Protein backbone atom coordinates (compact mmCIF):
# COMPACT_ATOMS: atom_id res chain seq x y z
CA UNK A 1 0.00 0.00 0.00
CA UNK A 2 2.87 2.36 0.75
CA UNK A 3 4.27 2.08 -2.78
CA UNK A 4 0.89 3.00 -4.29
CA UNK A 5 0.85 6.25 -2.28
CA UNK A 6 3.93 7.50 -4.16
CA UNK A 7 2.39 6.74 -7.55
CA UNK A 8 -0.99 8.44 -7.04
CA UNK A 9 0.22 12.04 -7.64
CA UNK A 10 2.01 11.08 -10.84
CA UNK A 11 -1.04 9.14 -12.03
CA UNK A 12 -3.33 12.12 -11.33
CA UNK A 13 -1.04 14.48 -13.25
CA UNK A 14 -0.80 11.98 -16.10
CA UNK A 15 -4.60 11.67 -16.24
CA UNK A 16 -5.29 15.38 -16.56
CA UNK A 17 -2.46 15.68 -19.10
CA UNK A 18 -4.06 12.95 -21.20
CA UNK A 19 -7.43 14.70 -20.93
CA UNK A 20 -5.85 17.95 -22.13
CA UNK A 21 -3.95 16.22 -24.93
CA UNK A 22 -6.99 14.36 -26.24
CA UNK A 23 -9.13 17.48 -25.97
CA UNK A 24 -6.65 19.59 -27.90
CA UNK A 25 -6.31 16.95 -30.63
CA UNK A 26 -10.06 16.93 -31.17
CA UNK A 27 -10.15 20.71 -31.31
CA UNK A 28 -12.63 20.94 -28.45
CA UNK A 29 -12.32 23.48 -25.65
CA UNK A 30 -14.33 21.40 -23.17
CA UNK A 31 -11.10 19.96 -21.69
CA UNK A 32 -9.85 23.35 -20.45
CA UNK A 33 -12.05 23.68 -17.34
CA UNK A 34 -11.17 20.15 -16.26
CA UNK A 35 -7.47 20.73 -16.80
CA UNK A 36 -7.35 24.07 -15.01
CA UNK A 37 -9.58 22.87 -12.18
CA UNK A 38 -7.41 19.84 -11.38
CA UNK A 39 -4.01 21.41 -12.09
CA UNK A 40 -3.69 22.83 -8.54
CA UNK A 41 -4.44 19.35 -7.21
CA UNK A 42 -1.35 18.06 -9.02
CA UNK A 43 0.80 20.69 -7.33
CA UNK A 44 -0.78 19.87 -3.98
CA UNK A 45 -0.26 16.12 -4.43
CA UNK A 46 3.32 16.50 -5.57
CA UNK A 47 4.09 19.01 -2.81
CA UNK A 48 2.70 16.75 -0.11
CA UNK A 49 4.64 13.83 -1.55
CA UNK A 50 7.88 15.82 -1.57
CA UNK A 51 7.36 17.00 2.01
CA UNK A 52 6.68 13.44 3.15
CA UNK A 53 9.79 12.18 1.35
CA UNK A 54 11.86 15.01 2.87
CA UNK A 55 10.73 14.05 6.37
CA UNK A 56 11.46 10.39 5.68
CA UNK A 57 14.97 11.20 4.41
CA UNK A 58 15.67 13.42 7.42
CA UNK A 59 14.46 10.66 9.77
CA UNK A 60 16.67 8.09 8.05
CA UNK A 61 19.70 10.42 8.22
CA UNK A 62 19.18 10.89 11.96
CA UNK A 63 18.87 7.14 12.40
CA UNK A 64 22.06 6.45 10.41
CA UNK A 65 23.92 9.08 12.44
CA UNK A 66 22.76 7.49 15.70
CA UNK A 67 23.78 4.04 14.49
CA UNK A 68 27.18 5.28 13.32
CA UNK A 69 27.78 6.97 16.66
CA UNK A 70 26.79 3.80 18.47
CA UNK A 71 29.22 1.72 16.38
CA UNK A 72 32.05 4.27 16.14
CA UNK A 73 32.36 6.76 19.03
CA UNK A 74 34.95 8.73 17.01
CA UNK A 75 32.21 9.54 14.47
CA UNK A 76 30.47 11.80 16.99
CA UNK A 77 32.15 14.90 15.48
CA UNK A 78 31.21 13.90 11.95
CA UNK A 79 28.13 15.29 10.22
CA UNK A 80 26.63 14.46 6.86
CA UNK A 81 27.29 17.03 4.16
CA UNK A 82 23.86 17.70 2.58
CA UNK A 83 25.04 18.59 -0.92
CA UNK A 84 27.40 15.73 -1.64
CA UNK A 85 26.07 13.01 0.64
CA UNK A 86 29.56 12.46 2.06
CA UNK A 87 30.74 12.75 5.63
CA UNK A 88 32.65 15.79 6.79
CA UNK A 89 34.73 16.18 9.92
CA UNK A 90 34.31 19.49 11.67
CA UNK A 91 37.96 20.43 11.13
CA UNK A 92 38.94 18.38 8.08
CA UNK A 93 38.09 18.02 4.42
CA UNK A 94 35.70 15.51 2.87
CA UNK A 95 36.05 11.92 4.10
CA UNK A 96 34.62 9.12 1.95
pLDDT digits (tens, 9 = 90+) for 46-79: 888 888 889 999 999 999 999 998 888 765 555 5
Report whether 90 contacts 77 (CB < 8 A).
yes
Q: Which domain holds residue 14?
A: 2-95
Number of domains, the chain: 1
**For the residues of 16-64, what is the DSSP string, one character each?**
HHHHHHHHHHHT-STHHHHHHHHHHHHHHHHHHHHHHHHHHHHHHHHHH
Mean of the per-residue pLDDT values for the chain? 75
The whole-model pTM stands at 0.52
Amino acid sequence: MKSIYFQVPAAACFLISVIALLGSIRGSSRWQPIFYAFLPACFLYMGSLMVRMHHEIARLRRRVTRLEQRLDPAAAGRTAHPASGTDRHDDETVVN
